[in-house]
Amino acid sequence: MSDAANGLILGIDPGLAGTGFALLSGSSLVLSCSTLVTRPGRDGARLLAITRHLRELLADHPPSEASLEELFMGRNTSSAIGVAQARGAILAVLEECGVPVFEYKPSQVKMVLTGYGNADKAQIARMLGAQVKVPEGRVDAHAMDAIAIAVCHARSRKLSQVAR
């Protein structure tokens, strides 16, 4: 049976400098998580690194669905532009590979995980630690966000199936 048939969810926290990835099985087992950190320099080279890494990940562990955080426009517009570029590259690869994509606002992810749409990163990390089995070792903020996005999708999907 292929990974796609097993219902793997790929959570992605897009960013030009660092992109978090998490593979979730079911709604609480994190199979792997990582952060791809790109070297400062030409944006095109950074985007190419992200797309290459994503293609390798999809080839090794094809998910049945992917979930991404929607673009949040804060005060730092230059970092939002980099995130938008990374999201565009990621969305193109997922489309090319036929992976259905689901997008969530940061407040939706926080609400699903903590019951509070304005939760901070520490609250989210505590809730994830109590609810999800994460592989041993250090998990940085980008990978933690990718896990949160994948868990949000898994739980949102279950809720929509119950509502039918």
**pLDDT for 122-134, tens place per residue?**
999 899 988 898 8
CB neighbourhood size of 63 (10 A) = 24
Residue pointed to by tokens 């304005």: 118
- Is 140 annotated in the active site? yes
Quick count: other Cβ atoms within 10 Å of Cβ 108? 17
CB 149 within 8 A of CB 104: yes
Instruction: With beta carbons less than 8 A apart as the criterion, state whether 128 and 24 touch.
Output: no
Over its length of 164 residues, how does the chain's per-residue pLDDT go in tens digits?
344 456 899 999 999 999 999 999 988 899 999 999 999 999 999 999 999 999 999 999 999 999 999 887 666 677 889 999 999 999 999 999 999 999 999 999 999 999 999 999 899 989 998 889 887 778 899 999 999 999 999 999 765 554 44
120: helix, strand or coil: coil
CATH architecture of 4-163: 2-Layer Sandwich (3.30)
In sequence order, which ranges of the chain are alpha helices (DSSP H)? 43-60, 77-96, 106-114, 121-131, 141-163
Q: Which of 3, 13, 65, 145 is catalytic?
A: 13
Q: Provide the pLDDT for residue 52.
A: 98
145 part of the active site: no
Is 13 labeled as catalytic in the residue annotation? yes
3, 56, 140, 145: the catalytic one is: 140
Q: What pLDDT does residue 43 have?
A: 95
Give the number of other CB atoms < 10 A from CB of residue 89: 22
Q: Are strands 29-37 and 18-25 parallel, antiparallel or unpaired?
A: antiparallel
Start-to-end CA distance of the chain, whole Å, equals: 28
Domain range annotation of the chain = 4-163
